Chain A
Amino acid sequence: MSRNGLSNWSLPIGLSAAGVIKTAVGYGGFSGRDAPPMFGDFEAQRHWMEITLHRPMKEWYTYAPDWWLLDYPPLTAYASWLCGKIGSALNPVNFALDTSYGLSPPDLITFMRFSVLSFEACIWWSAVMAWMLLQGKKEGRSWRSQMTGIMTILLQPSLTLIDNGHFQYNSVLLGFSLWTLVFLTHDQDLLACVAFSCALCFKQMGLYYAPAIGCYLIGKCIWLGGSAGLLLLVKLGIVTVATFGLLFAPWLRPFPEAILQVLHRMFPFARGIFEDKVANFWCASNVVIKWRRWFGINGMAKLATVATLASLIPLVLILLYTSFNTEPESRSSSVASRTVPVLETPRQSGPPPSIRLLPMALFSGSLAFFLFSFQVHEKSILLPLMPLTVLMAFRGGKEASASEDETWEVGVLLNNVAVFSMWPLLKRDGQALQYVFVTLLWNYVIGYSPTGTQPTFLRLSTYLIYLCIAVLHLPDLFPTAVLAPGRFPDLFIVLNVLLSFGVFGLAWLWSLKRMFEIAWAIAGSSIDPRDHHRSTRRAKVD
């Protein structure tokens, strides 16, 4: 594609192609299409536009409690209001108060699809481009590899199918989160705080990223040390509180009640530990251990919280210890080191070495939440996928190494398994065709070929997993020939959960291993020049 005169055009071409493909995915079905009485996510989003448009802010979280109550933080509500304003100007019938429930005429579908695409382009695409282009410039990556990276992220099948197919606005959350990463990488911590607060105020699921980002920032304060560190900590606190305060302002008074009600809407512990079938620890182990019978809902909530916190311990320790163990004075040696691309900045106050851990930490932390926390949707897998896919886009740079190839392969595998884990949902939505072809297209575009040269262990297990996935699709291909046994009507869905959970669980362990390796490399390169000899020897042993 990037031949001669064409390379100037490759970015507009790539973005147009992504837009065209995502629009085409939108021709398929969506969540809750023609499915009364409650319909689905599409209706929920439409209904929120309707109530935010017609009711005062005070009632946004309480109006019409027997229909889809708003259960996302205020930024979603504001976005809904904006969409409602525009959509209502186009056709007020579609957003008429109380009378528009369950509507889905073609013009409304088109409008809603375009609203997703517009938000996505503004926040998610811009973040992806900022990330790839800034990073590419810094590392002197080829234009082609930058373009491949951008397309890898933009055409990611799970996000495309869920946002442009199933119908949600996850890309906004992911966009704000990626902006956070971009700002942190470029030492703009305060802007990062604003971006991340926006992410949290758009969807509370952003909390999955909080441990990694929080530990990184605290780690940075430790790394700076003394008054500089303390000053940063105070600034970060003020900016975060201010952003939250601004976004939550309408619900601050009467003080505790209003905001508590909003919070209660966002974290409804009464709903149960998982919805439908999710490929996480609780749902998978539920096959043999009936957790709910043993502990009850409340006990489960506590158990899940403890398990989540426990699973986060390694991440917290590695991030904090790395920050503690490296010091600003030793930066000179790490700047000189060619193996630390992220640190190649002439500015005196660059980010600490632990920035190299951050994308992997985001992946690991959010995956831990997905596997062990309370009340998880199958769609939540999008959160771990984002940092992993962003890491995948690093492949083929000047600093290409074996570990990057490994990350890339794991990324492909996990993306494919993740989209498979959402198959029951997508099938229900009428996105089967899109499921097959968007996934195939992505694998083609990123240049994945299952016939690699070296049959590594990873590759062999990948074959095995794909084989299992193929077998589990047999009942979909031959609905009359392959049937689940009568005693277990959900057999194939449960097997889907077990397989996906196995892959996600192993990926989580792998992420811990990778974090440990990166931390080790950072420790090795930031040791005092006098000890340099010893550190290289140690790296070799490693």
Chain B
Amino acid sequence: MLGLSKGQRDLFVASTVLKVLFYPAYRSTDFEVHRNWLAITHQLPLKQWYYDTTSEWTLDYPPFFACFSYLLTLPARLLPRSAQDHLLQLSPTPVDSWLITGYMRTTVLVSELVLLLGLQRGSEAQSIISFGLLLHPGFLILDSIHFQYNGFLFGILVWSLVGAKEGRPIMCAGFFAALLNFKHIYMYLAPAWFIYLFRAYCYILHLRPLAQIGFVTVLVSAMSLGPFLALGQGPQLLSRLFPFTRGLNHAYWAPNAWADITLVDRVLYQASRRFGLDMSVSAAGIKSSSRGLVGDTNFAVLPDIKPFHCFVITLVIQCISLISLWLKPTYRSFLQSITACGFASFMFGWHVHEKAVMLLLVPLSLMSTDDWNHYQAFKVASVSGLVSLFPLLFHAAETPIKMGYTFIWLVIVLSSLRQSVSKTPPSISSYLADNIQSLYLYTALPLLLFTSIIHPYLTLTGAVIHAEFLPLMTTSIWCSTGMWIAWGRVLVGLFTGHSKRTI
């Protein structure tokens, strides 16, 4: 079945059953967000979709996702009349019932078929990679518990990559354009697509492929945005999709460069207070720091960061990887630059959410059997990335699930991948890097022990007060360290030429 081995099939069935058993588990406000979009697209005519403010969870994904929401309302007609009305009502307050939960969770489960089919088509030779992606704990945590449709969206991404791998630029461009019109966060990766498609198929001015690729991209975007532009809703759409009112860091710092810099700022501020150092301290920064993590981040000591800075830094760093892609426009190089673009935007982007870590984990895992270096990068990025997702499920009830499932997945995937990668003869630097990385990975245990047992216990007994941010900050800083290591390895892979694939 599905090109999976017996053991993988067992795990596929087990994880599907598990996802169904998670139906009654915790779900975030994203659940109500998506339910509300079903209601909006069902109750209102197209022209009001981006204007409705009945619920605070307004529609802020591009039009294709709105159409997807509309499609999801169609099977809902099979539900009993009362449940259907309940599910599709516009309401300022959250709406929930057992049937609604079951229905919404099922749509997530079914939409993941897009990912399954894409993976099956794309990499039949490396079933462990497909299998690892399909059952990725990231998807389990984000989609099956927290509630989003990442499996579906990454499925479209995988279909686009299938097009690139099979040398079909139109398919590649079409799917990616569609993906952008589902969720615009994938724009972070767009430069890689642009350069790859242009360099590999249109350079220097092959007019036919250029016209084809251009046409399909415009066509897809026109299908999505056209109606709204025709209604003159362009500015409204833009303001919904890009709300530049958010802060540098998300409420919980995503493990990136800004988390580290924020920490440095906090430390400098405390130091300046304790030792009476003469530093120019901003009042907004003090307020921000005393609030812990919630809301905008203003630095007390360091100069403030503006969205423009983030944008420039990200783009400059992305360019580095794009140069390499330009010089060598192969599929493998393409994957590498997607990963590098993902890293650049994750590490330096404005208001990055920890969920964005999937943007780099997915392309990275497609390269995980390329060579020893990429295997190690995948290992450290997976562990750090997944640990950074743990705080999303903050109830004790979900702790065994997120840790247990991640443990199982890591053991199976890493030990299977390990067999298909041969270790390169160690140089001093790679020997050092491997050992430092192992040492780092072992510190995950004390970290998890601290954040999930020791700190909650100390808080309960009153030994630690007003330190809710401590476990979050530690997690964030720890994970960002892993991200730096992984990113370093990806960059090394980008510039040290390509060793032979060993499969």
Interface residues, chain A, CB within 8 Å of chain B?
A: 1-6, 9, 12-13, 16-17, 19-21, 23-28, 89-91, 106-107, 109-110, 113-114, 117, 433-434, 437-438, 440-441, 444-445
Contacts and interface: CB of A to CB of B under 8 A. Distances in A.
B460 interface: yes
14 contacts: A16-B408, A17-B408, A19-B404, A20-B18, A20-B404, A24-B22, A24-B401, A27-B24, A28-B24, A89-B461, A109-B397, A433-B21, A444-B10, A445-B14
B57 interface: no
A17 B20 contact: no
Contacts of A437: 17, 20-21
Interface in B322-374: none
Q: Counting chain A CB atoms within 10 Å of each CB, which of B7, B400, B415, B460 scores highest?
A: B400
Interface in B404-423: 404-405, 407-408, 411-412, 415-416, 418-419
B467 interface: no
Q: For chain B, what secondary structure do more than half of its interface residues adopt (helix, strand, loop), or is it mixed? A: helix
Contacts of A441: 13-14, 17
Nearest to B21: A24
B437 to A, nearest CB: 19
A25 B395 CA distance: 16
A110 B396 contact: yes
Contact of B407 (A16, A106, A444): A16
B411 A12 contact: yes
B23 interface: yes
A19 B13 CA distance: 17
B268 interface: no
Contacts of A24: 18, 21-22, 25, 401
A2 B8 CA distance: 11
A107 B7 contact: no
Contact of A9 (B17, B401, B415): B415
A6 B416 contact: yes
A109 B24 CA distance: 14
Nearest to A6: B415
A437 B10 CA distance: 14
A25 B22 CA distance: 8
B143 to A, nearest CB: 15
Contacts of B20: 433, 437
A308 B460 CA distance: 52
A218 B20 CA distance: 49
A90 B401 CA distance: 21
Given A1-B7, A5-B418, 20 more contacts: A1-B412, A5-B415, A6-B412, A9-B415, A16-B408, A17-B408, A19-B400, A20-B400, A20-B401, A20-B405, A21-B18, A23-B401, A27-B397, A28-B21, A110-B396, A113-B397, A433-B21, A433-B102, A437-B17, A441-B13
A13 B411 contact: yes
B411 A433 contact: no
B11 interface: yes
A362 to B, nearest CB: 30
A164 B213 CA distance: 55
Contacts of A89: 460-461
Given A6-B412, A19-B400, A441-B17, A27 B25 contact: yes
Contacts of A23: 397, 400-401, 404
A431 B461 CA distance: 35
Interface in B395-453: 395-397, 400-401, 404-405, 407-408, 411-412, 415-416, 418-419
Interface residues of B, number: 32
A434 B21 contact: yes
Contacts of A19: 400, 404
Interface in B1-17: 5, 7, 10-11, 13-14, 17
A482 to B, nearest CB: 15
B103 to A, nearest CB: 13
A27 B23 CA distance: 8
Nearest to B102: A433
B16 to A, nearest CB: 9
Nearest to A117: B400
Contacts of A28: 21, 24
Nearest to A13: B408
Contacts of A440: 17
A1 B10 contact: yes
A117 B404 CA distance: 14
B22 A27 contact: yes
A107 B396 contact: yes
Nearest to A479: B80
Contact of B408 (A20, A91, A109): A20
A157 to B, nearest CB: 12
A106 B396 CA distance: 10
A16 B10 contact: no
A474 to B, nearest CB: 17
Contacts of A445: 10, 14
Nearest to B26: A27
A254 B60 CA distance: 74
A2 B10 CA distance: 12
A20 B145 CA distance: 14
Interface in B137-163: none
A27 B102 CA distance: 14
B419 to A, nearest CB: 6
Nearest first, the 5 closest Cβ-Cβ pairs linking A and B are A24-B21, A1-B7, A20-B404, A110-B397, A16-B404
A20 B401 CA distance: 5
Contacts of A26: 397
A444 B419 contact: no
A9 B411 contact: yes
Contact of A444 (B13, B102, B395): B13
Q: Counting chain B CB atoms within 10 Å of each CB, which of A27, A28, A90, A114 scores highest?
A: A27
A114 B395 CA distance: 13
Contact of A25 (B11, B14, B21): B21
Nearest to A441: B17
A89 B21 CA distance: 30
B395 A110 contact: yes
B339 to A, nearest CB: 26
Contacts of A444: 10, 13
Contacts of B461: 89
Nearest to B22: A24
B503 to A, nearest CB: 16
A113 B412 CA distance: 28
Q: Counting chain B CB atoms within 10 Å of each CB, which of A23, A433, A434, A441 scores highest?
A: A23
Given A12-B411, A24-B401, A113-B397, A1 B11 contact: yes
A171 B404 CA distance: 21
A21 B17 CA distance: 9
A475 to B, nearest CB: 16
Contacts of A1: 7, 10-11, 412
A110 B407 CA distance: 21
B395 A27 contact: no
A27 B21 contact: yes
B275 to A, nearest CB: 40
Contacts of A20: 18, 400-401, 404-405, 408
A4 B404 contact: no
Q: Counting chain A CB atoms within 10 Å of each CB, which of B14, B395, B418 scores highest?
A: B14
A23 B5 CA distance: 27
